[in-house]
């Protein structure tokens, strides 16, 4: 409950305080690149607030356009999770 409800709500409050409202009530407002950038920041931060930290690391690498490093990290994390299940 905390990870999927409380954490995103807290992140939305923090983002609202830091950036203000998205303000995308009309289609013309969406055409403005600053609103698109702000909406993307909101989306990524809300998404990260309800994801496990390991997935956040992979997501941050993908957002930084480092797909190769993200792929390597994802494979490494998968192998760690797989070996953690072995008794």
pLDDT in tens, the chain (87 residues): 677 888 888 888 888 887 765 544 434 444 455 677 778 878 888 887 887 777 788 888 888 889 999 999 889 988 888 888 876
* Own/partner long-range contacts of 47-53 (Cβ < 8 Å, ≥24 apart): 48/11, 49/7, 49/8, 49/10, 49/11, 50/3, 50/4, 50/7, 50/8
- What is the DSSP secondary structure assignment for residue 25, as one 8-state letter? -
pTM of the model: 0.51
């Amino acid at each position: 409950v905390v990870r999927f409800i409380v954490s995103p709500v807290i992140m939305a409050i923090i983002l609202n305080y830091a950036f203000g409202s998205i303000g995308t009530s009309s289609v013309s407002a969406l055409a403005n690149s600053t609103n698109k950038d702000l909406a993307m920041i909101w989306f990524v931060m809300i998404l990260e607030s309800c994801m496990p930290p390991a997935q956040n690391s992979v997501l941050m690498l993908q957002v930084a356009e480092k797909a190769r490093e993200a792929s390597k990290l994802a494979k490494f994390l998968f192998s760690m999770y797989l070996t953690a299940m072995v008794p």
